[in-house]
Amino acid sequence: MTVSSAPGKVYLFGEHAVVYGEPAVPCAVERRATVSVSLRDDDHVRVRAEDLSLNGFTVEYSGSTGTRPDVDVPTPLVEAAMGYIDAAVEQARDAADAPDAGFDITVESDIPLGAGLGSSAAVVVAGIDAATRELGVELTPREIADRAYQAEHKVQEGQASRADTFCSAMGGAVRVEGDDCRTIDAPALPFVIGFDGGAGDTGALVSHVRGLRDQYDFAADTVETIGNIVRRGEKLLSEADPDSDPSEELLEELGEFMNFNHGLLEALGVSSRSLDSMVWAAREAGAYGAKLTGAGGGGCTVALDPTPETNTALRFTPGCEDAFRAELATEGVRVESEETGATERDQ
């Protein structure tokens, strides 16, 4: 059996705009998805899903992963969990040239589904790493990122960007602009995350922004302005000392850009009452900046605050189900354990 894990992420800047070729800066956070894979002696795939903000379930099916499992679980929940796992299995089979490989797969995660923290990307990245290792093939983190992007691109019907999967595979802070993906040597930023307990419909929200952008010049200008904010924020991060705590001046400027970014996302109609409430609660508690993270519509906000004040304020904010501090995950995808016979990637 091979066990791999990969981190979730928050967007410091750039969600939605990244879909149209503008840059984005996501940062990996220490909330991880862990995928355990054992090779079977047939072509069946058996998946046990835990802690995905769903009721846990087990499914088994054979042959092509395109065959949908018949289980007594609401269809949207099965689709949410299984679509990405199917795609990861397909990528692993292709990478190892093993089209008939069967697997027993267990997925565990402390990243809520659909909340803007990159749960699907983390599951796909960890799944590809564990499955290919189980088949005797080791991929570099960049190779895993590319295959994970292809998987998400298929599941999301061409609307995915490389941001989530690249960030999860590489760890730390990254910059993504189209196919140009780079890591950033950033200091450890003091993230505080608020979660409203819900999840936005990523596909519908992306389609909504696309419709606005196609119909109105000012909406297209808004998307471009988000890209300009990202460029300014990335420059600040790149000039900071990654080995020192971030300065107050850096946090103030980054926070101001985050606030601008959230306002523009509000204008594009992808925020919600609960997200806005959490953003304002964080700012009033003294956070340097706060914004939604991910597609919006519900899910999570991210704030910059090294003190406990924002975390405390969020916990008392109506509509906030959970609040927690999340450290920057400097390590991306990693193997947690392998049985004898598999070779660990050089660390």
Q: Which residues pair with 191 in a beta bridge?
A: 304, 326
Q: Could you tell me which residues come within 8 angstroms of residue 228 by beta carbon, excluding any fewer than 6 positions away?
A: none
The sign of the torsion formed by the CA atoms of 158, 164, 165, 167 equals: positive
Six-digit token string for 176: 């993504």
Residue 143: which of 308, 277, 278, 333 has the closest Cα? Answer: 333
Strands 103-109 and 45-50: parallel
Q: Which residues pair with 2 in a beta bridge?
A: 37, 338
Considering 86, 146, 164, 196, which one is annotated as catalytic?
Answer: 164
Is residue 129 annotated as a catalytic residue, yes or no?
no
CA atoms of 145 and 90, how far apart (whole Å): 15
- Cα 95 to Cα 30, 42, 90, 139: the distances in Å are 28, 19, 9, 9
Catalytic residues: 164
